[in-house]
């Protein structure tokens, strides 16, 4: 893949190390040498073919008491064991977070490939609550948004959930069933939002309705083989 993804967190007053991944492939710390630091935004730009497990240092004089910077994050706040357990249950992707004030997470066009060996259905859930916008200024590369796309092997978008701007401040919960045929598909995710005193919750989950052994083995190889 030649497209680029921007992954990171906009930051106001807390210092942590956060592990994010862009598309389930390996990347080394030295690859993360393009860092923008404007308006207190910390981002990392990497080529899609190498984006994953990028450690993003966020600088400040304070340390958050409610976030463990030593957490064994492997992929989007999951440990390796949690990721394997998800895959064995047929999950293509699962994100379930709740952050409080001073966090502003964002990801731009994170791509997750999955293979369909037999005609199947993907159950997609997107839900969020208490997401906020930053008043009077845009601190994200693509603005505040929650976007989830399912892209076919022919590179056609067969499903798109999209909330942008002040639409993200309306608590939302949807569940969709998407028919998929044989071939390599892509789940593409973008989000950016600010957090307040009430935890900002975001859940995005995509799971095979009837995962086959080949589906699961393919996901394991794709998501784990190049991890260090």
What is the residue extent of each domain of the chain? 4-224
pLDDT of residue 60: 31
pLDDT at 28: 25
What's the CA gap between 53 and 228, in Å, rounded?
9
pLDDT score recorded for residue 20: 38
pLDDT of residue 153: 98
Query: Quick one: pLDDT at residue 140?
Result: 83
DSSP annotation of 102: T
In order, the DSSP letters of 122-165 are EEEEEEEES-BPPTT---STT-SEEEEEEE-TTS-EEEEEEEEG
- C-alpha–C-alpha distance, residues 4 and 47, integer Å: 5
CB 97: neighbour CB atoms within 10 A?
Answer: 16
DSSP 8-class letter at 15: B
pLDDT of 101 reads 83
Q: What percent of the chain has pLDDT over 90?
A: 52
Cα–Cα distance measured from residue 152 to residue 114, given in angstroms and rounded to the nearest whole number: 10
Burial of 126 (0-12, 13-18, 19+ CB in 10 A): buried
pLDDT at 227: 59
* pTM (two decimals): 0.72
**Res 95: pLDDT:** 93
The answer to whether 225 touches 108, Cβ cutoff 8 Å, is no
Q: Which residues of the chain are under the pLDDT cut of 50?
A: 1-7, 9-72
What secondary structure letter does DSSP report for 108? Answer: E
């Amino acid at each position: 893949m030649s497209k680029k993804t921007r992954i990171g967190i906009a930051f106001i007053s807390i210092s942590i190390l956060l592990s994010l991944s862009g598309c389930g492939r390996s990347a080394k710390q030295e690859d993360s040498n393009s860092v923008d630091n404007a308006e207190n935004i910390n981002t990392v730009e990497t080529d899609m073919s190498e984006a994953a497990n990028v450690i993003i240092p966020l600088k400040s004089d304070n340390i958050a008491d409610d976030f463990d910077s030593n957490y064994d994050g492997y992929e989007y706040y999951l440990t390796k064991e949690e990721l394997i357990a998800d895959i064995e249950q047929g999950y293509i992707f699962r994100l379930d977070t709740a952050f409080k004030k001073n966090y502003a997470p964002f990801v731009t066009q994170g791509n997750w490939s999955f293979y369909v060996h037999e005609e199947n259905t993907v159950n997609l859930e997107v839900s969020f609550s208490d997401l906020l916008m930053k008043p009077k200024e845009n601190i994200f590369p693509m603005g505040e948004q929650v976007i989830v796309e399912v892209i076919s092997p022919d590179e056609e978008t067969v499903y798109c959930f999209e909330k942008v701007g002040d639409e993200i401040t309306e608590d939302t919960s949807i569940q969709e069933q998407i028919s998929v045929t044989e071939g390599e598909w892509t789940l593409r995710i973008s989000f950016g939002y600010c957090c307040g005193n009430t935890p900002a919750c975001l859940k995005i989950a995509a799971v095979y309705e009837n995962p086959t052994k080949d589906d699961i083995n393919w996901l394991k190889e794709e998501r784990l083989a190049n991890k260090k």
